[in-house]
Amino acid sequence: MSIKNAALWFIMIAVGWIVGKVPLGFSYWLAGLGSRPAYFMAVRRRRILKEEVRILFGNRFSEISIKKIIKRTFGVYLKRQVENVAFDRMTENRLRRMVTVEGWENLDRAEKEKRGVILLLSHFGSFLLPLPFLAYRGYRVHQVAGRPLIKRRDIISKKIFEARKRQTDTMPFSFLLTDKYLGPVVRALRKGDVVVIALDGRTATEMVPAPLLNRTAQFSPGPFKLASRTGAVILPTFVVRGDNNKHRIIFEAPMAIERGKDGDDAIMSNMTKFLEIFQRYLLKYPCHFAMTLFSLRNEAEQGFNPPLFLD
């Protein structure tokens, strides 16, 4: 049992108790208050965050701006952790108070086509919120996920995993595991359901390189192959936290999927279209993704998952 994981388990219990006893707004305030000491205490994390932001964005941000981005990153991250702890208490009424939607017409238009909808997102902002929000609004929603690999086998790690699983099991959406075959995902799309996929997920068996700002990243071509195979509509989706901690779920316009003779060329063209949209959000809200840069680098260095970047 590692000291780090034992501390994390204690923090989860303490934060869960606090979040369960006080209004969510007060929990946000506490998270914001705690973000300042967290920024100063997490020396290694702060250093890696600065490195990753500098490399990804190049000279788009000054050193002063990067420092501000990293400070804001800690606040965004801790507030998302508060939401994660309270995930099993995300009732319909609470979500309606937390969330506004932009682009409803894009989702409605895609859903009415009855070809299935792929909500394509990334680990950007509070990326889990669209699932319960749409499920409570009457949509049949599924999260595509690979089977988790618990390589840290101490008791605390397993307890953390089990606690998080119990939270998601209470929510009104389902998980579709893709570690063996895609049949359940294909069937869900052909029924006209909404399937949520994170392009930057690391559990795919196939990855292809693609440019992302100043770097070469690798992503799964799976969502684009699924859309080509099933005729499903791909809807780029992003969650942006406002200064008042209210979230905007933004459904971008459906992507015009190319289905050319050369499958690889069509996949790259479709992926590039999504990444062009994603880059706009990265440039505008870098603090919504910076902690993901750290997490993915940390997981890759420990051998848990393939790295996000190839360079």
Non-local (6+) Cβ contacts of 33 within 8 A are none
Whether 30 is in a domain gets the answer yes
In a domain, 310, yes or no: no
Q: What is the domain range of residue 230? A: 3-301
Q: Which residues have a Cβ under 8 Å from the Cβ of 191 and sit 6 or more positions away?
A: 116, 140
pTM score, two decimals? 0.88
**Number of domains forming the structure of the chain:** 1
Evaluate whether residue 306 is within a structural domain.
no
> What whole-number distance in Å separates Cα of residue 268 and Cα of residue 301?
27
Give the tokens for residue 183.
Answer: 């049949």
Report yes or no on 152 lying in a domain: yes
CATH code: domain of residue 118: 3.40.1130
Give the up-direction half-sphere exposure of residue 97: CA atoms within 13 A in the CB hemisphere: 7
Q: How far apart are CA 95 and CA 234, in angstroms?
A: 24
Nearest to 141 by CA among 88, 100, 197: 197
Task: Evaluate whether residue 309 is within a structural domain.
Answer: no
| Consecutive 10-residue averages of pLDDT for the chain (311 residues) | 52 59 81 91 95 96 96 95 81 90 94 92 95 92 73 53 59 72 87 94 88 95 91 96 95 85 78 96 98 94 90 85
308 within some domain:
no
Answer positive or negative: Cα dihedral of 55, 57, 63, 68. negative
Is 107 contained in some domain? yes
